[in-house]
Structure 1
Amino acid sequence: MIRIERDSLGELSIPKDAYYGIHALRAKENFSVTGQPPHRELIWAMAIVKKACAWVNREIGMLENSKAEAILKACDELAVGNLDGQIIVDALSGGAGTTLNMNINEVIANRALELMGFEKGIYDVIHPLLHINLNQSTNDVFPTAVKTAIVRLLRELADEVALLQGEFQKKEKEYAKILKVGRTELQDAVPVTVGQEFSAWAEALNRDWWRLNKAVERVRQVSLGGTAVGTGLNCPKIFIDMAIEKLREFTGLPLAKAENLFEATQNTDSLSEVSGYLKTLASDLIKIASDLRFLSSGPKAGIGELRLPAVQVGSSIMPGKVNPVIPEMVTQVGIKVIVSDHAVSFACSMGNLELNPFLPLIAHELIGSLKMLKSCSTLFRERCISEITVDEARCRELFDRSSCIITAFSPYLGYEVCAEIYKEALSTGKRVEEILIERGFFTKEEIESITQPQELTTPGFAGIKYLRRLLK
């Protein structure tokens, strides 16, 4: 069974039970490129924007109450995902978002018609453009929905990053007193504690959390009511403030009217800025994951200072092998986000005059990055960080085998003498402490005083009390 729908280009046959219409079907034929639908979060945001507009149009007397009630209910159904199967357009399309907007308009209109007891396609009762798109343009609705979805996801991601940071802080306290070799450029450097390493990772995430919250400030101003180019043509002034207020109420998000609707319609630099923050988070996660892979390498022939939880069998040919698969997943997500940032930045730079036609790509990549980073942060915390343990004996073994404590003695002996001792330790296999005693520089007790963990891993000179006595 079919119904016939017409537009200015002609007519098409639409399945009779379909909620989408001729515009969505044309778009599906034109833009079947990725095989991916628009993100669910974007569909939700579009539905809520349409709901806010319908509510205001009823309040200002431009939409009959019976039609408004049906439209509002249809918007609610779309928002929760009940009509997702009717969103048939591809994630990417030409037209600056018109494709998705038209698909949304048609689905809401036909579901509202059904709720009122009419057959789908009876557009003289409820029309996708005259009623669902009333006082709107794709050019204000779509960017508003994009920013609404992004604000929601930014807040959710910030919460996950805070939880991940908290897990690192727990490990920082748990392993605050375990001494180990610090490394620069993958070479032995000076002593650190395991807790200090966890603290550095936690602090990086703390800055990421701060950036994500700042990002919300950048994108919470929306252009709803600006219509085609931000001038608000064909939109009552009263509609603008009321619609944004209602959108804020329906979403619970801190959305606000852009100070300059004309500017907000054409510029997407705030989205590029947000993408940059996500890239920074991705870079931090890659760095942390790389550190964890290195410090857990082995388990017998590598560094092996950290033990990552075994979450799955690691090899189809090597029995018993377990791989650091969660950090590897984190790394791949980070790479994808960094690549997406390049696409977003490029697309943002390609806007022309009063509109950026490439917003579908910007939205798809940004929302995808936000979702991946959120899931990634949750899995990283639950499946890896919370279960990490430290091999204290291995940390001590490598610490004792290294010569990393020699730097602590340079205030006493000078750089050149310490360099000679370091070379001797490397060539002979002797410990630094042993050489210091053999040469008569220090007693065993003095060395123990200077090399206390607190002395070696905090600002100042190790064994400062002894040094002061020496200098008198």
Structure 2
Amino acid sequence: MASQNSFRIEYDTFGELKVPNDKYYGAQTVRSTMNFKIGGVTERMPIPVIKAFGILKRAAAEVNQDYGLDPKIANAIMKAADEVAEGKLNDHFPLVVWQTGSGTQTNMNVNEVISNRAIEMLGGELGSKKPVHPNDHVNKSQSSNDTFPTAMHIAAAIEVHEVLLPGLQKLHDALDAKSKEFAQIIKIGRTHTQDAVPLTLGQEFSGYVQQVKYATTRIKGAMPRIYELAAGGTAVGTGLNTRIGFAEKVAAKVAALTGLPFVTAPNKFEALAAHDALVELSGAMNTTACSLMKIANDIRFLGSGPRSGKVNPTQCEAVTMVAAQVMGNHVAVTIGGSNGHFELNVFKPLMIKNVLHSARLLGDASVSFTENCVVGIQANTERINKLMNESLMLVTALNPHIGYDKAAKIAKTAHKNGSTLKATAIELGYLTAEQFDEWVKPKDMLGPK
């Protein structure tokens, strides 16, 4: 581990800088902390991005070794990069999101940390850049312009697979179980928040199930573009200073390390200058947020009422706040994605920060909502039956038998007089008691005939 004694002197192109001896980062990282004092520790580059960089740098070192990099240097880089990927060196990444829009400072932060950790492993002096140089070796055949977007895609893919999709699946399964549990409970439907014709509570919940199923489908549908990696495009997409086959080999190594189907991007100019794939993924998450907002609101409204001794719908409220945040995040991602100019988009840190935030919030909220609300939902059948049997909208079942106008008059008269549909229909002489009982059966109003 790096020494905790005072500082060491390192140099960048602007001069000398004091670097804490207990940190593996170097002069360029320190320079960035001086130039971008924005937001403090809460605004640091997301750890998933740092871990993704570790995966990328390991893959690049392995491929560079195939192309002639000294095996001793390559192996040290790989070991140090593994520590970054495993989160063992998180304290050595102090930079905030609000830096250069290409993420260059973070790429150099990673290069310096891996370089110095590798130097330490090889018995060298921190900051000496010998025998492992942050640019010449750790960043070999790479540019910030292709490494940062590569790390963005790796981080996003991992977060989606480890947090978002499992959370949505858990919610889907719980809602599906409730839909089946409530299949025989007939309730009055509501449109425009007012009484409508009947349906089962299971049918109502089946709509929620389908929404979450489609959410998962949309997110999975966006992933093939996320699996495309910019690595090998270097500064502007041409691949200057790389070797033929480097891009394909790096993508294959990343795929092997993560277990995800990463491939090299077919067009590196698009991969550097535009981040439509992240906008697309964010859009799918935005739609998911819309779905969860509707589901959570429905559930809290279905459980609402004037009775005292209440239990507040806190889980529903948390989900709706998460949904609002994700919608806001998508606005930021959209603006960032639309601001790629010429050969480089320079809103990269902003975009990945918000994409990762949305994925984590939606995944976590889905699990919390499932475990602390959905699985415990019970139907108040007594209240459901009372409201259904008192609803004037049951008159709709009479339309095929006596016509719309007479049915409407029954409903309006019953409402005006505060009487039941049955009594009003008989009083108006439109039908007999036997006919009413035969024609107005909620269980026969649940689908086509």
TM-score by length of 1: 0.91
Cα deviation for residue 454 of structure 1 reads 3.4
* Counterpart-to-counterpart distance in 2, 1:412 and 1:13: 90
> What pairs up with 1:22-421 in 2 under 5 angstroms?
22-35=27-40, 36-61=43-68, 63-156=69-162, 157-298=164-305, 300=307, 320-421=309-410
* Counterpart-to-counterpart distance in 1, 2:362 and 2:237: 33
SS in structure 1 at match of 2:19: strand
Alignment check: 8 A CA contact 2:101 2:345 kept = no
Cα deviation for residue 196 of structure 1 reads 0.9
For residue 437 of structure 2, what is the aligned residue in structure 1? Answer: 448
* Counterpart-to-counterpart distance in 2, 1:186 and 1:95: 46
Moved more, 46-55 or 67-76: 67-76
SS in structure 1 at match of 2:344: coil
* Counterpart-to-counterpart distance in 1, 2:446 and 2:36: 60
Cα deviation for residue 181 of structure 1 reads 1.2
The letter of the residue matching 2:63 is: V
Cα deviation for residue 88 of structure 1 reads 0.7
The letter of the residue matching 1:432 is: L
Alignment check: 8 A CA contact 1:177 1:453 kept = no
Alignment check: 8 A CA contact 1:17 1:120 kept = no
SS in structure 2 at match of 1:181: strand
Alignment check: 8 A CA contact 1:425 1:435 kept = yes
* Counterpart-to-counterpart distance in 2, 1:443 and 1:70: 91
Is it true that 1:9 corresponds to 2:14 in the alignment? yes
Structure 2: stretches of 5+ with no match in the other structure: 1-5
Superposed CA deviations along residues 391-447 of structure 1, whole A, max 9, x for unmatched, are: 000101111222121111111111111111111111222121222234444444443
Aligned residues: 441
* Counterpart-to-counterpart distance in 2, 1:453 and 1:67: 76
TM-score by length of 2: 0.95
Moved more, 450-459 or 177-186: 450-459
* Counterpart-to-counterpart distance in 2, 1:95 and 1:349: 13
Identity across matched positions, percent:
40
* Counterpart-to-counterpart distance in 2, 1:34 and 1:442: 74
Moved more, 447-456 or 255-264: 447-456
Cα deviation for residue 257 of structure 1 reads 1.1
For residue 313 of structure 1, what is the aligned residue in structure 2? Answer: none
* Counterpart-to-counterpart distance in 2, 1:169 and 1:445: 38
* Counterpart-to-counterpart distance in 1, 2:239 and 2:396: 68
Cα deviation for residue 19 of structure 1 reads 0.6
Cα deviation for residue 118 of structure 1 reads 1.9
* Counterpart-to-counterpart distance in 2, 1:453 and 1:407: 10
Moved more, 153-162 or 382-391: 153-162
Cα deviation for residue 254 of structure 1 reads 0.9
* Counterpart-to-counterpart distance in 1, 2:380 and 2:174: 18
Superposed CA deviations along residues 320-377 of structure 1, whole A, max 9, x for unmatched, are: 5421000100000000000111111111111110000111101111111111111011
Cα deviation for residue 58 of structure 1 reads 1.1
Alignment check: 8 A CA contact 2:406 2:430 kept = no
Cα deviation for residue 174 of structure 1 reads 0.6
Cα deviation for residue 30 of structure 1 reads 1.7
Cα deviation for residue 95 of structure 1 reads 4.1
Superposed CA deviations along residues 189-234 of structure 1, whole A, max 9, x for unmatched, are: 1111111110011111111111011011122111111100110000
Cα deviation for residue 249 of structure 1 reads 0.5
* Counterpart-to-counterpart distance in 2, 1:66 and 1:451: 84
* Counterpart-to-counterpart distance in 1, 2:426 and 2:195: 22
* Counterpart-to-counterpart distance in 1, 2:293 and 2:324: 8
SS in structure 2 at match of 1:5: strand
Structure 1: stretches of 5+ with no match in the other structure: 302-319, 461-472
